[in-house]
Structure 1
Amino acid sequence: MKCPGQDTLYWKEDAIYEVKCPECNKNVEFFKDDTARKCDHCGHRFANPKMDFGCASYCKYAEQCIGNLPPELIAQKEDLLKNRVAIEMKKYFKRDFKRIGHATRVARYAETIGKNEAGNMAVILSAAYLHDIGIHEAERKFNSTAPKYQEQEGPPIAREILTRLGANETLINEVCDIVGHHHHPRDEETLNFKVIYDADLIENLSEKHKENPMEKDRILKIINKSFMTESGKKEAEKVLAAN
């Protein structure tokens, strides 16, 4: 069965229309299911400005349904993905507001750091929301929240969530890799990992600082020694050493 939005049986007169080329201003004919077309006059290829991507912004079958996705829709899909991952994280943790709050704050720091470092925000925010997703299984199986158990139990749960949401395999693999060792940096690390590591460290230090306040000099020493990105250091100073 075809998606009704793409089945010509349901099309009306407005299913074919002309759009001005943004380069030469000549008319280019579009069918409503064309994601992009090339201008016959100047050769410029551009996305269909009238196309309502609708469910294609989250449907995992969108590419099969409407062909190769334009960059605009790929960006839209990734932007929507991080919001849906946040929802799935909250559903998974249910009434464990402590873990929900921690993940949400880590994601907030990761967004600031990641944008400043020009990281892949879909990977970064998905990993931020899911970095501690294995903590309940660690408690159930080992009666422990030790980092090694979280890292062991987290990736299968993260993979199931991301697969169900229709994320691409490359993103899933990178997020699961980060989740699987987010407390233990390797000798060589990706930028996306470094962003998550710094964001998580800010939140962990902030929680400890609230319980047992540290002197500013000690905080600055930790920041200079432990953080992996310059943006992470700046954010840590803003959060931890502002006063």
Structure 2
Amino acid sequence: MIDLEKLAALAVAYDAGDARRVQHFMKVYAFCRLLGRSEGLGEEEQNILEAAALLHDIGIHEAERKHGSSGGKWQELEGPAVAAPLLAQAGASAAQAEKIAWLIAHHHSFDASEDLAFRILLEADFLVNAYESALPPEACGTAGERVFRTETGRSFLQKMYLEKPYKP
């Protein structure tokens, strides 16, 4: 199993001085943990998903340095190479590192796969991005139709962004 605590510490150290990015990947990690467990992922697949959540945006700084952009395609391109040594230090096997690299390299490609761990990573990232970007309910509804596949993810999306706010 990948040592997630060590991996989180390595990711925080890599993104030192960039609290916004650390906050983002930690929130995506939390949603992946909840969604994956609620959707019944096996222990190893859950471990891989959580590791991918911690590193899904790890290529942003390299993308900005090399391409002058943090755009999704550049994150996907640069992320796997940045993630590889961190995964090795956290004890990932070659097979685990390969799966995580694929998840990182496709996490902005909504139609890349129907793999459950992949779908959960997309959903968790959207749940966080919708809040951080203050997306309007219409955009969230469209994403619910086009991106979300899991019952738990759809429920979170509905309750967080599509229901009328509670007013005391």
Fold-level similarity (TM above 0.5): yes
TM superposition shift of 1:189: 2.9
Question: Which structure dedicates a bigger proportion of its chain to helix?
Answer: 2
2:28, 2:77 → 1: CA distance?
Answer: 20
Structure 1 residue 203 corresponds to structure 2 residue 124: no
Aligned to 1:87: 9
Q: Higher relative CO (CA 8 A, sep ≥ 6), structure 1 or 2?
A: 2
Structure 1: where are the runs of 5+ without partners?
A: 1-76
Match for residue 116 of structure 2 among 191, 208, 211: 191
Aligned to 1:179: 104
- 2:65 partner amino acid: R
- 1:99 partner amino acid: R
Over 3 Å counting, the alpha-carbon distance change for 1:96 and 1:185 in structure 2 is same
Aligned length in residues: 161
Aligned to 1:235: 156
CA RMSD of aligned residues (A): 1.7
Q: Deviations over 1:188-243 (max 9, x none)?
A: 3311111101100111111122xx6x24x653343233313222111222322342
Q: Which has the larger radius of gyration?
A: 1
Aligned to 1:115: 37
Structure 2: where are the runs of 5+ without partners?
A: none
- Contact 1:159–1:176 under 8 Å retained in 2: yes
Q: TM-score, normalised by structure 2?
A: 0.88
Over 3 Å counting, the alpha-carbon distance change for 1:219 and 1:82 in structure 2 is same
2:95, 2:116 → 1: CA distance?
Answer: 16
Match for residue 86 of structure 2 among 145, 161, 169: 161
- Contact 2:123–2:148 under 8 Å retained in 1: yes
1:85, 1:159 → 2: CA distance?
Answer: 11
Aligned to 2:64: 139
Over 3 Å counting, the alpha-carbon distance change for 1:90 and 1:187 in structure 2 is closer
1:154, 1:188 → 2: CA distance?
Answer: 18
